[in-house]
Chain A
Amino acid sequence: MNVPTDARYSREHEWARFDGDDVVVGITPYAADELGDVVYVELPAEGLHVDVMDEFGTVESVKAVSPLYAPVAGEVIAVNSALDGAPELVNSSPFHEGWMIRVRPDDAATAIEDLLDAEAYDAFVDELLA
């Protein structure tokens, strides 16, 4: 697998990518593939403050319900309401239309520095699939 290099990744398979001053968060193709077809995505109310590894929502697939963990600390300033009617976007476009939350980071300078870069995340997934 080769994930985009403009995002960083958590070991819980969330991605985080700067878009202006904000960080956009979603789940990786590996996570989407492991879950199988997604049937519901439950996202938080805007304004929620999350710390790293806080549960910010759940994703339900035909197999299981799984928690979503925040890869960055900050305030949720937008959620992807398109997932209400079209949760399948998480499977079909995990990096773009399937984004989940937009976070205003507490500290932009360090927000994503502890996350894996694309190369390290690819290696991490390869290990899981080995």
Chain B
Amino acid sequence: MPGRRSIVASEPLIFELASSGRPGVRPPLAQFDDVDPASVLPEGQVRESLDLPEVSEIDVMRHFVRLSQRNHSIDTAIYPLGSCTMKYNPKINEVAARLPGLLEPHPYQPETSVQGLLALIHDLEAVLGEIAGFATVTTQPAAGSQGEMVGLLCIQAWLRSRGERRATVLVPDSAHGTNPATATMTGMRVEPLGTAPDGNIDLDELDAKLNDDVAALMLTLPTTLGLFEQRILEVTRRVHAAGGQVYGDGANMNAMLGRVRPGDLGIDVMHLNLHKTFTTPHGGGGPGAGALGVQAHLAPFLPGPQIVRRDSGYALEPAGPDSVGRVHAHLGNVGNLIRGYTYIRSLGREGMREVANDAVLNANYLRARLAPHFDIPYNRICMHEVVLAGTRQRRLGVRTTDIAKRLIDYGVHPPTVYFPLIVDEALMIEPTETESIESLDQFAEALISVADEAKTAPDLLHAAPSAAPVRRLDEVTANRSPDVNWTAAD
């Protein structure tokens, strides 16, 4: 397998590599000789030493390169983490984000001196609005979850502007976990909605729970089962008829690019994860960008400033009196806005459609290849991801955790496990459009081989991983008493 690694000896902490008096850089101290720290710093603030590792440049370089070689990343092999859209991040995005005119501006520079950057972000907002079907877009939220919070705050503000107060948010049990968390964060009450046997929202239950306290339905589309809500128009119609709003979780937008515009389906407000759908780096690879699109009636409540185009050029318009307020400095994580824009413009309109087509095709290819070997509770044409159940393997005494750990031995990053909660022993697989058929086959064959081992050699699974730099980790201790600080020995 590509990405397969042999066992690597344990890597010491950088502090353990330190050797007293071994500097990485020798600053030209002579320049500072005539300043006595005690004369410029407050009393008691002058230190003679710091607990920093003393290492040479080559020590630092080798340490971090070795660590990076033990890491699994989308640049080494397939990363089919369901719901996370771990697609390849094209390097042209990095080239654009490092162009001096985009990299170097300071947020407080005069607007007239950053017209190009403002034009880019203004156009990104327009393009995202066109892709998802929304009148106005803000790029300020730094994550999908923050976009969700701004969206619910906008809905609350809109309701208040109509003299209404509603405090209930309906959340299907096939939604992302951030949805109920966001509703709770904004002081609202979560009412769960069940999933019908066909994988759609149970309309009878929806009717029973819709009342004049329901502020919003938060809908993940496609759902975390990887399914398109087939009665979406009926769902949004009924929520609106009851005076509520529909929040769309757009984290799974990859499956719909160029095919369906959520704004056309009756969704009032939705976030888009640039770090999923539009190939900006995830998590440790960089800050997120959870742009938020709204229909016109919610636009007055968005955070400011917003970029406006005037005869004289682009300008920053401060938030209006109804705004829910600022949620991030300036325009959000600008570097990732540039990366996302570069991706969209380099693919173009047809490219967007192909992304969705191939993402859905790849997920269904895996669904068909894996169906003989795993239970699939909601087995119909899926969108960007397929959710398997390790229930057949559980009867052999093998749990989904064991399957996931064994995949590591095959050089494959395990899929998301035990989510969504409504699928027993869930394995949630999202290949994305960037994997070739060879790569999909290699992944499927690894998973099929593990399913065979569950029958013939289950101990291999129980003992996995055995070919990784570390064996099975103690997740209980990691949760209960994580120890992430290095402290100097006395």
Contact = CB atoms under 8 A, between A and B. Distances in A.
Do chains A and B stick together as partners?
yes
Interface of A: 34, 36-40, 60, 62-64, 87-88, 129
A39 B401 contact: no
A62 B476 contact: yes
Given A34-B424, A37-B475, A129-B395, 17 more contacts: A36-B399, A36-B401, A37-B476, A38-B476, A39-B475, A39-B476, A39-B480, A40-B479, A40-B480, A60-B479, A62-B476, A63-B418, A64-B418, A64-B421, A87-B480, A88-B476, A129-B394
Contact of B475 (A34, A62, A64): A62
A84 B422 CA distance: 28
Contacts of A34: 424
Contacts of A129: 394-395
Residue among A38, A60, A62 having the largest count of chain B Cβ atoms under 10 Å: A62
A125 B417 CA distance: 22
A88 B479 CA distance: 12
A62 B421 contact: no
A119 B418 CA distance: 29
B479 A39 contact: yes
Contacts of A39: 475-476, 479-480
Contacts of B479: 39-40, 60, 62
Contacts of A60: 479
Interface residues of B, number: 13
Contacts of B401: 36
18 contacts: A36-B399, A36-B401, A37-B475, A37-B476, A38-B476, A39-B475, A39-B476, A39-B479, A39-B480, A40-B480, A60-B479, A62-B475, A62-B476, A63-B417, A63-B418, A87-B480, A88-B476, A129-B394
Contacts of B476: 37-39, 62, 88
A124 B476 CA distance: 29
B397 to A, nearest CB: 11
Contacts of B419: 64
Contacts of B424: 34
Nearest to A85: B480
Contacts of B417: 63
A62 B482 CA distance: 13
Contacts of B418: 63-64
A10 B395 CA distance: 23
Nearest to A87: B480
A129 B393 CA distance: 11
A39 B475 CA distance: 9
A17 to B, nearest CB: 27
Interface in B434-490: 475-476, 479-480
A60 to B, nearest CB: 8
A62 B395 CA distance: 21
Interface string B238-271: 0000000000000000000000000000000000
Contacts of A88: 476
Nearest to A63: B418
Contacts of B399: 36
A37 B401 CA distance: 12
A36 B476 CA distance: 10
B192 to A, nearest CB: 11
B15 to A, nearest CB: 28
A61 to B, nearest CB: 9
A87 B156 CA distance: 39
Nearest to A88: B476
A33 to B, nearest CB: 9
A88 B476 CA distance: 9
B392 to A, nearest CB: 11
Closest 3 CB pairs of A and B: A39-B479, A62-B475, A63-B418
A60 B476 CA distance: 10
Nearest to A34: B424
Nearest to B475: A62
Nearest to A37: B476
A60 B419 CA distance: 15
A62 B394 CA distance: 18
A75 B458 CA distance: 46
Contacts of A37: 475-476
A56 B315 CA distance: 54
A38 B479 CA distance: 10
A118 to B, nearest CB: 22
A62 B479 CA distance: 7
B16 to A, nearest CB: 29
Contacts of B394: 129
Contacts of B395: 129
